[in-house]
């Protein structure tokens, strides 16, 4: 009898402890996580009584703002608006009653609500003076003219454009197509929001995907600048004569590598490293990759940020290259194929690092938070990764990339009066589909510098390596020209 009583007592005790543990977990241990979960509708409703701070560009140009609701009987005091429609949606994200927050609206939520620790002093003062506390203003790094040029130049072609300031890592432009209008998800009409959401998530073109930071592609021949950097760091010079056969007999496989469209590089003899990059010779760079080996090739890529989480402030995909590959895979990776995968943001960082003399700066898009009284609450800047490649190597790469634009595959990126450096790419990705068209490049004058990456999905020609220059280079040219003041 006593044994049965003890068993019942143990069961009751365990049940009692479970009852105590549940509220302890949800109300104490998980409280912060739940409060910051963008799906927590109850928290969102409470937030709608606060005048959320705007998101702006230079000169206080608003790209997101909160206004008082004019809807009759609306229990929510403020509604979020995006005055520029879809233009900045891949940075601002959306602020939705039904689906929560994304991108900058999520990452900087506490500042926009005025609840960040840095805003504590202001909140105490406002409490003592019975003043209503609005949220902070988030100032972005995006340049208005450059963003408009990127959107206009990309047009209705599926792909992405990213532009960076090489010296700081500041994002000057970021656009993708197709895209969405965050206003469609930010109203106070839940039924309408859900209809718009269903339409967006069921769209096979993926308008909610930020292709600039979150999509991964084979980089094609734009990756040859990384292979060239590895070669330069391992004893090859710009003027060294390298084999350039019409067909490279790849060891350990019968799958040989040819130049795009079966073309010949310099008559099948030899080329300097400079010339091989200028005309984008596959066979030369495949052989270089094999000579370097997969470990050195991957190590060079990692200096530019491959195989590491992106330091970008908002969600971004990790660009990658396998560290250990067999010889055939290494040959293909050296020309940006096989298992190499990159985001346009990553390739813009590659271009920016070369433009910055080999010093790599992490990309960032939010530069500061300002109070409603005009004081700076918080400053942000890109992470400085230091001198990742020697300055001499970066200088050699700049010189070679200038020749690509001056007389090679990237002539369509030329801008009168400016020195433009770049590299084209045509990346195969699926049997029977047109390749992706790529261009990365940079230019500068005085205190203005810009590095750009462009990808146009399936924008290349199956039979021609120069289609990266034909399709993507003019987009990059227009973006660079807009930032440099050429309209």
Give the residue numbers marked as catalytic.
Answer: 221
Local structure of residue 63 (DSSP, 8 states): E
- CA-CA distance, 404 to 451, in Å (whole number)? 15
Tell which residue, 231, 226, 235, 364, has the closest CA to residue 307. Answer: 226
- CA-CA distance, 28 to 441, in Å (whole number)? 51
Phi, psi angle pair for 451, to nearest 5°: -120, 140
Query: Is the distance from CB of 97 to CB of 193 less than 8 angstroms?
Result: yes
Local structure of residue 468 (DSSP, 8 states): I
129 contact partners, CB below 8 Å, separation of at least 6: none
Token pair, residue 361, equals 């700066």
Crossing angle for the helix pair 224-233 and 294-303, nearest 10 degrees? 110
Tell which residue, 223, 266, 227, 221, has the closest CA to residue 243. Answer: 266
The verdict on whether omega for the bond into residue 357 sits within 30 degrees of 0, i.e. cis, is no
Token pair, residue 213, equals 């930071």
Token pair, residue 296, equals 């050195």
- How large is the greatest C-alpha to C-alpha distance in the chain, in angstroms? 99
H-state helical runs in 108-143: 109-113, 120-128
- CA-CA distance, 76 to 50, in Å (whole number)? 10
Dihedral (Cα; 307, 310, 316, 317), 10-degree rounding: 0
Local structure of residue 74 (DSSP, 8 states): -
H-state helical runs in 89-143: 89-92, 103-107, 109-113, 120-128
**Residue 72 burial (CB < 10 Å; 0-12/13-18/19+)?**
exposed
Query: Is the distance from CB of 453 to CB of 348 less than 8 angstroms?
Result: yes
Local structure of residue 300 (DSSP, 8 states): H
- CA-CA distance, 289 to 294, in Å (whole number)? 7
- CA-CA distance, 246 to 23, in Å (whole number)? 71
Token pair, residue 424, equals 């084209």
Token pair, residue 144, equals 């208005």
């Amino acid at each position: 009898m006593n044994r049965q009583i003890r068993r019942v007592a143990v069961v009751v005790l365990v049940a009692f402890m479970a009852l105590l543990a549940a509220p302890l977990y949800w109300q104490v241990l998980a409280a912060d996580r739940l409060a910051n979960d963008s799906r927590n509708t109850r928290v969102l409703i409470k937030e709608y009584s606060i005048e959320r701070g705007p998101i702006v560009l230079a000169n206080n140009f608003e790209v997101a703002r909160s206004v008082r609701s004019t809807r009759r009987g609306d229990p929510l005091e403020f509604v979020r608006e995006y005055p520029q429609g879809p233009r900045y949606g891949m940075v601002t994200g959306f602020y939705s009653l039904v689906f929560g927050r994304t991108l900058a609206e999520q990452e900087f939520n506490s500042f926009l609500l005025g609840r960040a620790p840095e805003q504590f002093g202001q909140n105490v003062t406002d409490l003592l003076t019975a003043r209503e506390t609005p949220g902070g203003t988030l100032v972005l790094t995006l340049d208005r003219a450059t963003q408009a040029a990127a959107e206009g130049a990309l047009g209705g072609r599926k792909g992405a454009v990213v532009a960076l300031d090489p010296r700081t890592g500041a994002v000057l432009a970021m656009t993708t197509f197709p895209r969405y209008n965050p206003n469609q998800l930010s109203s106070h009409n839940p039924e309408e929001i859900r209809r718009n959401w269903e339409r967006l998530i069921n769209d096979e073109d993926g308008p909610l995907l930020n292709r600039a930071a979150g999509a991964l592609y084979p980089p094609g021949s734009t990756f040859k600048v990384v292979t060239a950097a590895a070669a330069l760091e391992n004893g090859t010079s710009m003027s060294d004569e390298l084999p350039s056969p019409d067909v490279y007999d790849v060891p350990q496989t019968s799958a040989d590598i040819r130049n795009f469209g079966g073309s010949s590089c310099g008559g099948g003899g030899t080329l300097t490293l400079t010339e091989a990059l200028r005309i984008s010779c596959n066979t030369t760079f495949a052989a270089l990759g094999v000579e370097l080996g997969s470990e050195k090739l991957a190590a060079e890529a990692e200096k530019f940020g491959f195989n590491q989480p992106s330091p970008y402030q908002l969600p971004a995909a990790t660009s990658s290259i396998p560290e250990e590959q067999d010889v055939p895979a290494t040959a293909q990776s050296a020309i940006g194929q096989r298992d190499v995968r990159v985001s346009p943001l990553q390739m813009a960082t590659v271009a920016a690092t070369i433009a910055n003399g080999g010093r790599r700066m992490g990309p960032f898009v939010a530069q500061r938070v300002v109070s409603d009284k005009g004081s700076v609450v918080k400053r942000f800047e890109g992470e400085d990764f230091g001198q990742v490649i020697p300055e001499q190597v970066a200088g050699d790469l700049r010189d070679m990339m200038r020749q690509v634009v001056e007389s090679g595959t990237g002539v369509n990126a030329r801008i009168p009066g400016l020195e433009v450096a770049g590299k084209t790419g045509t990346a195969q990705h699926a049997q029977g589909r047109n390749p992706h068209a790529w261009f990365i490049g940079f230019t500068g004058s005085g205190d203005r510098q810009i590095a750009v990456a462009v990808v146009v999905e399936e924008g290349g020609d199956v039979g021609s390596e120069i289609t990266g220059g034909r399709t993507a280079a003019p987009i990059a040219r227009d973006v660079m020209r807009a930032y440099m003041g050429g309209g």
